[in-house]
Amino acid sequence: MAIVKVIEVIGSSEKSFDDAVQSVVTEVSKTVRNIDSVYVKDMKCHVSDGKISSYGVICNVSFRVTDGNV
């Protein structure tokens, strides 16, 4: 029987929402194996001088738990 764990992670990017989500996957992948999916729970932008300065995402990252995993 597979056990799946979910962690909540916040990521950001100065480029786009897609890049912010990719930064979450890249960083989490450094310490967590067997990532199955990423659910984008919330999105926001910071604005400076009338322009978007950064994109932020709150993500739930799901991964299968195995020996040696978090």
User: What is the tens place of the pLDDT at every residue in 33-52?
Assistant: 999 999 999 999 999 999 99
Asked if residue 56 belongs to a domain, the reply is yes
Query: Tell me, what CATH number does 56's domain have?
Result: 3.30.1660.10
Mean pLDDT of the chain: 94
Asked if residue 16 belongs to a domain, the reply is yes
Asked if residue 69 belongs to a domain, the reply is no
How far apart CA 1 and CA 50 sit, in angstroms, is: 51
- Strands across the sheet containing 4-13: 4-13, 51-64, 35-48
Where helices occur in the chain by DSSP H, the ranges are: 17-29
Q: How confident is the model at residue 1 (pLDDT cuts 50, 70, 90)?
A: confident
* Per-residue pLDDT at 2: 83
- The label of the residue with tokens 């194996």 reads 33
Asked if residue 46 belongs to a domain, the reply is yes
29 Cβ neighbours under 8 A, 6+ residues apart: 35
Residue 69: is its pLDDT beyond 60?
no
Which has the closest alpha carbon to 15: 62, 43, 56, 50? 56
pTM: 0.86
| Structural domain boundaries, residue 11 | 4-64
